[in-house]
Amino acid sequence: MSADIKVDQVLDAKGLSCPLPILKTKKAVEALTKDQILKVETTDPGSKNDMASWAKRTGNEVLKVEEGSGTFTFYIKKSA
Amino acid sequence: MTKKKMTIIASKGTLDMAYPPLILATTAAAMDVDVTIFFTFYGLEILKKNNADKLKVSPLGNPAMPMPMPIPTLVSSLPGMEAMATAMMKSMCKKHGVASIGTLLDLAIESGVKLIACQMTMDLFGYKKEALVDGVEVGGAAAWLDIAADSQINLFI
């Protein structure tokens, strides 16, 4: 599982639709310092692709994505 | 890395058509893109003070709008149908966690999206700059073209 990832901040974006999970992730990552890790939980099925695109564009790294029953959990390392 | 740039021309003032420019603008800003929205004609409705959450959607002339039951065109023209369709869409948005237009506009402003109101439309419709939300600049076609010529993405909505 994700026991090996040390999470610095958790963002609950469950129940939110595009573009709010991305906007909230951006804000949360901005508040971190480099190399810190944000855990984001979403229920928006589109967030899986969106989060990858967002991270690629902004130079941040998605370390891991977990899919549960209707939920997605992202571990994002602030890299930029 | 130099920032990418995007411009959007927002020309519609209905509840449904106010979403695409604001969703794309806020997302682009979150992806480190410099965004400018040029509001022209009915798009200016979005910028009027305290108006963003009062935009309406009409089932009339809008056959693609999902309704709980098929509604004949003539019925769509009856008083109250627009209010009903608007209330329906707002409640759908709320249920699905879709931000309101007002919220998206606030988020756009907060993330540094540049808002330009079309001077010609303001003169044409008799709108005053004071009637628009704070932080809006007023400009013309050349102002948009100047920015668009240096942008990678330019959209007309």
Q: Which residue of A has its CA nearest to B108?
A: A23
Exactly one of A5, A18, A31, A52 is catalytic; name it.
A18
Query: What CATH architecture applies to the domain A9-77?
Result: 2-Layer Sandwich (3.30)
Q: Mean pLDDT across the stretch B11-18? A: 97
Which of B21, B19, B16, B17 has its CA nearest to residue B115? Answer: B21
pLDDT over threshold 80, residue B25? yes
Measured between beta carbons, which residues in chain B are less than 8 angstroms from residue A22? 27, 30-31
Q: What is the residue range of B112's domain? A: 5-55+100-156
The neighbour count for residue A10, using CB atoms within 10 Å, is 12
pLDDT over threshold 60, residue B145? yes
Summarize pLDDT for B65-124 with one digit per residue, the tens.
888 888 888 998 999 999 999 999 999 999 999 999 999 999 999 999 999 999 999 999
pLDDT over threshold 80, residue A18? yes
B121 located within any domain: yes
Which residue among B26, B33, B96 sits closest to A19, beta carbon to beta carbon?
A: B26
pLDDT over threshold 90, residue A3? no
B93 located within any domain: no
B139 located within any domain: yes
3-state DSSP assignment of residue B145: helix
What ipTM does this complex have?
Answer: 0.90
